[in-house]
Amino acid sequence: MPIMIALRWRMAALAFLAQNVGLGMVLSSFGILLPRICEDLGASRAAAAVAVSIFMMMFGLVSPLVGLGLARFPLRLFMSGGAALCAIAMAAAAFATDIRWLVLLYAIVGIGSGFLGIVAPMTLISRWFDRKRGSVLGIATAPIFMFLSPPAAAMLLKLGGLEAAFLAMAGTFAAVALLMLMVVERPKGQAEAAAPQDQPPAPDRATFLRQPAFWTLTLGIALMAGSGTALYAHGVVYMIQKGIGADGATIAFTIFAGGGVIGTSLFGWLADRITPIRALIIDALAQFALWSCLVLVTDLAALILVCAMIGIGLPALNALQAAALAALFGVRSVPGAIGISYFIKVPFLLIAAPAVGHMFDITQSYDAAFGTLAALMLVSLILFATVPFLHRPVEVR
């Protein structure tokens, strides 16, 4: 039994690494790299922001394929192979001289990260933990790398420019590719196709698309996730525009990323106690209020406080979504449901960052764009509130 417990938490640690490196490191470093990308490659902010949007788009496009593939192929194949693909693309990005090549390479990183992050680690956690799943998902998705990556990227830019930053990320992905070979599919004795006694069999994918609750949950998550992508891409530059300087903006953004370390565990704990949907409603309400404050405040101390509080709630979305899908449709539905959900989110992830960049290029200010994003948080709140009323029991065919 102690050996099994140790193995279970080792799988949680591997899921933590996959999630943090596959998604957190790439997203949180981009905002720091954006001004240098524009300068070195001669690109506008709207054009440069396409890179992170393409990354998220490809991430979303491959997620359904991962959900399908995990029923037939080993988890370690997706996770290790995805990390290796990211390592190659990031190494090539270090030598990119044109924004079009960089966008293409970020697309490849998005494919690899789609294999490595979200669906695979959430599935790993779902297989190994049948109690307090929300809390474990919160711990496994704690964005430590999102906290560490901004200051690390800023330091690497000073030491060796974009080349040093991209090569460092390539090395990190290469190390993770080796570690993912240690993934164990499921606990010994757990039948591959067996459903837990307290869970219904997995519904087919068409069933999700016929569920209004699935659509409202997914659209609410998509609006918040798209807004988050825009913040990751433009947040540092937005804070510089507010007059707090590059160092102050880096501090504020680092605190924002650090808030997620607390938030994922906090909201995972909350989901276990008041249901994942209610936790999402609380998160959306808080985000609406905080994003509204983000537009209004200009003082460094106030910005740091607002960013920290935004960071507490925003990174918790992935864990809350997985917990909500498991609660609504059963644990065995998680890989397929998350994959389809990410595919639906693709347009939101693709449009958000370039749209904010375009609004800045036109108005030379981020205020209108971020005010719009705050309003989208209110829409997400309304969508989450309707989920319990729209949910219908799943009929498995």
- For 336-391, the pLDDT digits (tens) are 777 788 778 888 877 888 888 888 888 888 888 999 999 999 999 999 999 999 87
Q: Which of 4, 27, 14, 8 is nearest to 78 (CA)?
A: 14
Whole-number pLDDT of residue 367: 87
3-state secondary structure at position 237: helix
Q: Looking at the predicted structure, is the pLDDT value of residue 131 above 80? A: no
Residue of higher predicted confidence among 79 and 140:
79
Whole-number pLDDT of residue 396: 47
And the tokens for 166?
């991209």
Lowest-confidence segment of 59-63, 167-171, 197-201, 363-367 by average pLDDT: 197-201
What domains, with CATH codes, occur in the chain?
Answer: 2-183+203-388 (1.20.1250.20)
- Give mean pLDDT, residues 30-53: 86
- pLDDT confidence tier of residue 203, bands split at 50, 70 and 90: low
CB crowding 31-63: b at 16 or more within 10 Å, else e: bbbbbbbbebbebebbbbbbbbbbbbbbbbbbb
Lowest-confidence segment of 52-66, 109-123, 217-231, 277-291 by average pLDDT: 52-66
Give the separation between CA 372 and CA 359, rounded to whole angstroms.
11
And the tokens for 295?
């537009």
Torsion sign (Cα): 234, 235, 237, 238: positive
| One-letter amino acid for residue 228 of the chain | G
Going from the C-alpha of 149 to that of each of 5, 144, 323, 336, the distances in angstroms are: 31, 9, 27, 30
Average pLDDT, the chain: 84
% of the chain beyond a pLDDT of 70 = 91
Most confident range, picked from 113-127, 181-195, 250-264: 113-127
Max CA distance (Å), the chain: 62
The answer to whether 84 and 22 are in contact (CB under 8 A) is no
- Give mean pLDDT, residues 32-46: 87
Q: Looking at the predicted structure, is the pLDDT value of residue 156 above 90? A: yes
Q: Looking at the predicted structure, is the pLDDT value of residue 198 above 60? A: no
Whole-number pLDDT of residue 64: 77
- pTM score > 0.75 for this model? no
% of the chain beyond a pLDDT of 90 = 32
- For 299-317, the pLDDT digits (tens) are 878 888 888 899 888 878 8
- Give mean pLDDT, residues 112-131: 83
And the tokens for 284?
């959306």
- pLDDT confidence tier of residue 1, bands split at 50, 70 and 90: low
- Give mean pLDDT, residues 284-305: 89
- Give mean pLDDT, residues 121-149: 76
- Give mean pLDDT, residues 8-28: 86
Whole-number pLDDT of residue 28: 81
Whole-number pLDDT of residue 4: 67
- pLDDT confidence tier of residue 189, bands split at 50, 70 and 90: low
- For 313-333, the pLDDT digits (tens) are 887 887 788 888 888 877 667
- For 71-110, the pLDDT digits (tens) are 788 888 999 999 999 999 999 999 999 999 999 999 999 9
Most confident range, picked from 95-99, 125-129, 172-176: 172-176
Give the separation between CA 346 and CA 235, rounded to whole angstroms.
21
